[in-house]
Amino acid sequence: MFRQFRSAAASALTDALADLGYPTDDLGIEDPPDGVDATLASSVAFRLAGEAGAPPPQVAAEVADAVDAEATEYLERVETSGPYVNFLANDAYLADTVAAAGDDEFGRLPPKDESVVVEHTSANPTGPIHVGRARNPIVGDAVANAIDYAGYDVDRHYYVNDAGRQMAVFTWAYETFDESDLPDVERDKPDYDLVRYYRKGNAFLEEGPEAAVETAEAEIQSIMQGLEAGDEDTYERVSEVVDAVLAGMRGTLARLPAEFDEFVKETRFMRDGSADDLVERLQDLDESVYEEDAWQLDLSAFGIDKKLVFLRSDGTTLYTTRDLAHHEWKFENYDRAVTVIGEDHKLAFDQLRHALELLDHDTDQLEQLFYSWVNLPGGEGMSTRAGTGIDLDDLLDEAIDRAREEVESRMDDRIRDDELAEADVDRIARQVGVGAVRYDIVSKQPAKAITFEWDRALDFEAQSAPYVQYVHARCCGIVDEARDEEPLAEGAIAGDAAVDPATLSTPEERDLVHVIARLPAVIEEAADDLEPHRVATYTREFAETFNAFYRECPVLTADDPATREARLALVVAARNAVANALDVLGIEAPESM
């Protein structure tokens, strides 16, 4: 309802400004100032004061008088508070919001005829995913979820780097060293098992005897050349390592969870001739030069001093070359291509974008979300190659353990004696622990570096996942109790009760309706701007608003049956809204805590 109301308010304001002879290019529509009881506000009077030759409050009053409230379905009236023009929704808005949110799909927007591919994570398959890179799958998954909720046809892709020097080193090391040469495996997963070979190989190349290193380098070069030539045996050798490590990494990602529709391998674009075709077209460009034993693209016309190397003197392509072919494939198959990637790749993506433009592609369909790193207190280094840092599996284990301690500390003796309690504690600990990690990371603006802190992430009383999850559990508890004790409430529980808005008369009830109504608009904005943290901010505001309602508005003990029915319907609406907001963030909504 909020999206419709906002659109109608904008239309009514535009008409009023036009009637008054004012420009309509900037309506200044925003959330009302603190303490103002309105659904929306406009700060347009600030902009118009100079032109009108009058103070903003006077201009606001003039504009408010010119707005035709009766022409807008959900608009009750227009008021002013100082320089602001305030739009207040009517009772039909309240009733229709509760009815719409009774649907458990509330928050999803109508389907759009537009396809989007979201590429995220794409960590090199060289070993376990570490904490520093945890932001990519968490933010990337939330971005894809928001776009999906916004009505787009979404595919989630993981781009697998299986063709570069790293994988050639890994394959050589796996085929060279014995188990006896390696340290004990840290965890029973293939990525932890095989990363020992990768680390051993890198150490040997840095510190081994010169003659042996030269022989190893020749073998590594042979693997790279074999991949470039499309040699099937070489591809199978590399794939044995890549697929095994990737299976382990997928297991870790599934714990978040972050799932993918397709794992697109880099070698695909070498094997099908796409990379070779791309190289020929790049070489034909006026900006293409052969310097320093390599073919390069001069991008100085775009303000980029560093040339883009796309072909080595030995005829091998580079990661960026294959990624250009990858993006051409995306453009052929999708209307939009979104990539979630670390801020250290900004230059590479600028180069890629301008190279695509030189190849006559419309790069407006290409969007990037750059993120900064996740740090732990103490600033541990993160390097798969050297084997330092904290793995994501370790972080998730610790989160679940800490959540279990917190849950057990809140259990009363009756629950402790329940034979089902242990399984329930395990479930809640996993939902809360993993949710805490995801929420703490996705709730921050991606461009800002963050330090993960346990006390903040697992705080049941503050702005955290458990704080929001508990609202959903509380809603479920109320509905379950009503189902057992309130046979008159079947319609409200089913989400199809017709609510008399007159029964929702308290400020807390109406505030809750208003925050529920905003969810579809918040999701739409998060999808359009690639900013999933907006949904996290919404859930915090939602939780605070619901808790105020819960304190002031008894549901099942309300004296009047109509009030009980209306408040129960409101609880069902709140449950659906918070569950789907959490779902966008990729966080489970526990039914009990």
Helices (H), 67-161: 91-101, 135-149
d(CA 361, CA 366): 10
Instruction: Report the pLDDT value the prediction gives residue 381, as an integer from 0 to 100.
Output: 38
Report the alpha-carbon distance of residue 460 to residue 267 in Å, rounded. 47
Q: Domains in the chain, please, with CATH?
A: 2-89 (3.30.1360.70), 405-584 (1.10.730.10)
The answer on pLDDT for 242 being more than 60 is yes
Average pLDDT score over the chain = 91
- Residue 9: per-residue pLDDT: 93
The per-residue pLDDT for 103 is 94
Distance, in Å, from the CA atom of 323 to the CA atom of 264, rounded to the nearest integer, reads: 11
CB 407 within 8 A of CB 428: yes
Per residue in 68-114, pLDDT tens? 988 778 999 999 999 999 999 999 999 999 999 999 999 999 999 99
- Position 397 scores a pLDDT of 93
- Bridge-based pairing of strands 84-89 and 40-42 is antiparallel
What does the pLDDT look like over 385-417, one tens digit per residue?
A: 444 468 899 989 989 998 998 888 876 654 555
Mean pLDDT of the 552-581 span: 93
pLDDT of residue 462: 73
Task: Calculate mean pLDDT across residues 426-447.
Answer: 92
Q: Which of 196-210, 349-363, 398-412, 488-502 has the lowest mean pLDDT?
A: 488-502
pLDDT of residue 70: 82
Query: Contact at 8 Å (CB) between 10 and 75?
Result: no
pLDDT above 70 (res 320): yes
d(CA 583, CA 586) in angstroms, rounded, equals 5
Confidence band (pLDDT; 50, 70, 90) for 418?
A: low
* Residues 295, 288 contacting (CB under 8 angstroms): yes
pLDDT at 335: 97
Task: Give 128-147 pLDDT, tens digit per residue.
Answer: 998 878 899 999 999 999 99
Q: What are phi and psi of 119, to 5 degrees?
A: -100, 125
Measure the CA–CA gap between 261 and 257, rounded to whole angstroms.
13
Smallest CA-to-CA distance from 164 within 270, 289, 83 is with 270
Map tokens 């034909």 to a residue: 284
What does the alpha-carbon distance between residue 200 and residue 205 come to, in Å, rounded to a whole number? Answer: 9
Q: Element (H or E) spanning 451, and its range?
A: strand 450-451
Q: Is the pLDDT of residue 314 over 80?
A: yes
| Contact predicate 41/30, CB 8 Å | yes
| Residue pLDDT, tens place only, 184-220 | 998 999 999 999 999 999 999 999 999 999 999 999 9
Across 308-427, the runs of DSSP E, i.e. the strands, are: 308-312, 336-342, 366-371, 374-375
Q: What is the pLDDT of residues 18-69, one digit of tens each?
A: 999 999 989 999 989 888 889 999 999 999 999 999 999 999 999 999 999 8
**CA 97/CA 106 separation, integer angstroms:** 10
CB-based contacts of 381-386 (< 8 A; 24+ apart in sequence)? 382/130, 382/131, 382/132, 382/133, 384/124, 384/126, 384/127, 384/128, 384/130, 384/195, 384/198, 385/126, 385/198, 385/199, 385/202, 386/199, 386/202
CA atoms within 13 A on the CB side of 418: 12
Can you read off the two tokens belonging to residue 484? 């057992």
Nearest to 143 by CA among 340, 373, 347, 434: 340
Least Cα distance to 238 among 280, 199, 198, 272 occurs for 198
pLDDT at 492: 63
pTM over 0.85: yes
Identify the pLDDT of residue 7.
Answer: 92
